[in-house]
Amino acid sequence: MSTLRRSTRSIGVAVAAFVVVIGFTVGGPANAAEVAPSPPAGETTTDSPPIDTSLPGVAERIAEIEANGGEILGGSSVQYVEEGSGEDGAAQRAFPSGCGLTVLVYKQTTQIVSDNLTSCLAPFVSAAMSSTIGFLAWGHYNNIVASRSAQRTGGSSLALEYAYNCANTSNTTWFRTITNGTLVRGGTTYTAAAYDEVQDDYCGT
């Protein structure tokens, strides 16, 4: 599990305008995002990969969230790998698709927000993401409280943001967001799955 309420305020970037369906100019990442399998449905999980701010647009998005008063609770970044390649095969190739999937979970007033970004070094033919937010009860995250999907044709980025409105501000709750992504580049289909679990002391269900 990512460190809760990790400090991201050391990121020295200018706040960039962020539009859900418009691609952006990017440079090459310093390090490839990790490969992580999707967690078992409904079950608690172990540590997810850390947020990779070298992926296109990630540092800028974090800065924008914080500039607007959001509190980053957690997040994770993974790379897109060729469909059907498997975890072992994918791990042997560094950043094979040139694309990453980043999940950010943040608190905005009385909302838990799942903020998701697919970003690439070069344009893709198409991209799609689907995501859910669930809360922990009796050892499982089967309690889905919000979900959303997005897709686009062409471009180099796709963003998906949605929120759960806290039922009260007095209960402590564990939340998990899971996002699955698919994109097509050069006739090849790539997939990714990113997730993270966070705790909030003032967001009840």
Interval 75-112: pLDDT, tens: 999 999 998 765 554 443 444 678 999 999 999 999 99
Residue 120 has pLDDT above 50, yes or no: yes
- Run of H or E including 83: none
Question: What percentage of the chain exceeds 70 in pLDDT?
Answer: 72
Average pLDDT, stretch 49-55? 92
**Pick from 19-23, 36-40, 77-81, 186-190: least confident:** 19-23
Residue 166 has pLDDT above 60, yes or no: yes
Q: Assign domain 58-200 to its CATH architecture.
A: Sandwich (2.60)
Rounded to the nearest 5 degrees, what angle is found at the Cα of 133, between the Cα atoms of 128 and 137? 150
Supply the DSSP symbol for 168: B
Residue 27 has pLDDT above 60, yes or no: no
Residue 160 has pLDDT above 90, yes or no: yes
Half-sphere exposure of residue 25, counting CA atoms within 13 Å on the CB side? Answer: 0
pLDDT of residue 87: 52
Q: Which residues of 137-172 are buried (b: 16+ CB within 10 A; e: fewer)?
A: eeeebebebbebebebeebbbbbbbbbbebeeeeee
Residue 117 has pLDDT above 80, yes or no: yes
Residue 90 has phi, psi (to 5 degrees) of -65, -35
pLDDT of residue 199: 87
pLDDT of residue 164: 95
Residue 23 has pLDDT above 80, yes or no: no
Taking the C-alpha atoms of residue 149 and residue 143, their distance in angstroms, rounded to an integer, is 18
Rounded to the nearest 5 degrees, what angle is found at the Cα of 195, between the Cα atoms of 190 and 201? 165
* 170 or 25, higher pLDDT: 170
Burial class (CB in 10 A: 0-12, 13-18, 19+), 10: exposed
* 187 or 104, higher pLDDT: 104
- Run of H or E including 119: strand 111-120
pLDDT of residue 3: 39
* 100 or 142, higher pLDDT: 100
Average pLDDT, stretch 180-193? 94
Residue 60 has pLDDT above 90, yes or no: yes
pLDDT of residue 10: 36
pLDDT of residue 97: 76
